[in-house]
Amino acid sequence: MLRRLSATGIGTIAFQRALTAQIVHGQEVTGEMIRQAEWIAGLELSDEDRATTAATVQSALGRFAQLRQVDVGYDVPPALLFRPAATEAARDPAVRRNARPIDWTAPQLPTSATELAFLPVSELAPLLRTRQISSVELTKIYLDRLDRYDKRLHCVVSMTDDLALRQARRADRELAAGHYRGPLHGIPWGAKDLIAYPGYKTTWGATPFENQQLDVKATVAERLDRAGAVLLAKLSLGALAWGDKWFGGMTRNPWNVAQGSSGSSAGSASATAAGLVGFSLGSETLGSIVSPCKRCGCSGLRPTFGRVSRHGCMTLAWSMDKIGPICRSVQDCALVFDAIHGYDGLDGTAVDQPFAWPPHRDVWNMTIGYVEQEAASIQPVLDVLRELGATLVPIELPDDIPVGALTLILDTEAAAVFDELTRNHVTAGLNRWPPVFREGQFVPAVEYLRANRVRTLLIRKMEKLMSQVDAYVGGNDLVHTNMTGHPTAVLPNGFRMHDDKQTPTAITFTGNYFGESDLLAIAHAYQQATDHHLQHPDLDAMAAGDDAEPTDQKKDDP
């Protein structure tokens, strides 16, 4: 019989330790135990919520037990850093907005609007610079495509067409006057709808915030304004950055509209792959750039943690959130990244580090790692890299740390961010978050800090691994690298059949801290040696009635 614990007269830590002791000894957490513990968190839950919270707390206690098996020395601090730099005066360093396409030659102007819409930024930029097409013309093409295809893809939360046309007209006036801001000048783009822009709603994809309007401009949006880019639309994200379902429906994969586009940068990847925007911005906490890029066949960059300011963007987990570009080519990612990275004096984690594009190094003098157990499955990729002259070496990702248990950090931080929702019993339109938020109310501070200390051990092991290579290819490392903050580039790598439809596959490259120049140089060289990114979905062939619910959504995409 499970021993019942009374919270009356028992201190918070003592009660939680007693609760933990029961699960460690194989006993069950019950809704009644949650009811008795509610005073600790200052909550009053329904019986139904107590039952679901008991299940998630049971899972959390299992993670506690795993993390306690790791030998953490007294000299290991948690992976937390206080940076007083946020109080410094903002500056606009010369390390930003110097990038240019490797080839500035303007291509032949396409004869069809569809072909033009699918051109990468690196080819649209010289067409605009030489005034073979105007920003207004290009903007109207994309606005028309957004209007036509969003009915099937459900990737748009709010159109910003009035703003877009004003910005496009300004871009054309400046070009006519000889004032050129760089390769993003006049290029239309879309923002994941957790990026705030004054005068427009920022809904976070969630019903409770459906009419939210924030009087702030996110740093990344401000920097793209300065670069002359044209904001077309706020694009969908799964509710509070989980999955591809939001209050407007489920965002679709343009290669197979019966399938969700994955999350949470669902709209950014869908719209970019479908040629509805020139490029987009997404965000990642645990897969939200990589996952939808894989699904939709986009090129994406999840930068080093701290590379890009998150000011004006929804927080999910303070120690994990990253903002990055989603584009049609790796080179486009470099051009967009150059415009948005760096210190801003508003996000205490944002730092200045050099970035060069065109890159200073070639692949032939780089060392690239690969996970030895994966060699057979990625042999064609390794063959291309060898042909490019790279030195390939086998590596092993750290396997002696329970990285899955470290997701406790994300869950706890997210529970703290959205504590008000839990206390007000708000659950509608939040996807699978409410049980996670409630679980976070019962995580002791000691366990959260223990997880961050184990995270420090993972960071040290990954740094030792990365000291041997300039980057590595592949690897089941989504949790590893989101916990350590290493940058990853993702790009299309062929196709497979899914539901009798051809859908993209992908490959990832992971680089050293602040090593985006080398990382993107490797990914770009590989992309130029293949043609996977040049393939585009046929939106006009999308069959009506393909609105079935997806069955392959996973929890690796907040």
Instruction: Return the ∠ at Cα 277 (arms to 221 and 208), rounded to 5°.
Output: 60
Asked if 288 and 265 count as a contact pair (C-beta separation under 8 A), the reply is yes
Q: Which residue has the tokens 């930029």?
A: 125
The conformation of residue 213, written as its DSSP 8-state character, comes to B
Secondary structure (3-state) at 202 = coil
In the residue annotation, 158 being an active-site residue is answered as no
Question: Of 122, 270, 283, 288, which is the active-site residue?
Answer: 288
Strand partners, 488: 302, 510
Of all residues in the chain, what percent are helix, strand and coil, respectively (each to 5)? 40, 15, 45
Residue found by looking up tokens 């002359």 in the block: 228
Q: Rounded CA gap, 108 and 129, in Å?
A: 13
Helix ranges (H only) for 235-356 are: 266-273, 290-296, 330-340
Bridge-based pairing of strands 252-253 and 256-260 is antiparallel
Q: Catalytic annotation on 554?
A: no
CA distance 34 to 293: 40
Distance CA 156, CA 150 (A): 7
- Establish whether 288 is a catalytic residue: yes
Task: Map tokens 């499970």 to a residue.
Answer: 2
Task: In whole angstroms, give the CA distance from residue 200 to residue 209.
Answer: 13
What pairs with residue 368 in β-bridges? 392, 471
Residue entry with tokens 């036509």: 148
Q: Which of 264, 268, 270, 283 is catalytic?
A: 264
Q: Which of 122, 192, 265, 299 is catalytic?
A: 192
Q: Which residues are catalytic?
A: 192, 264, 288
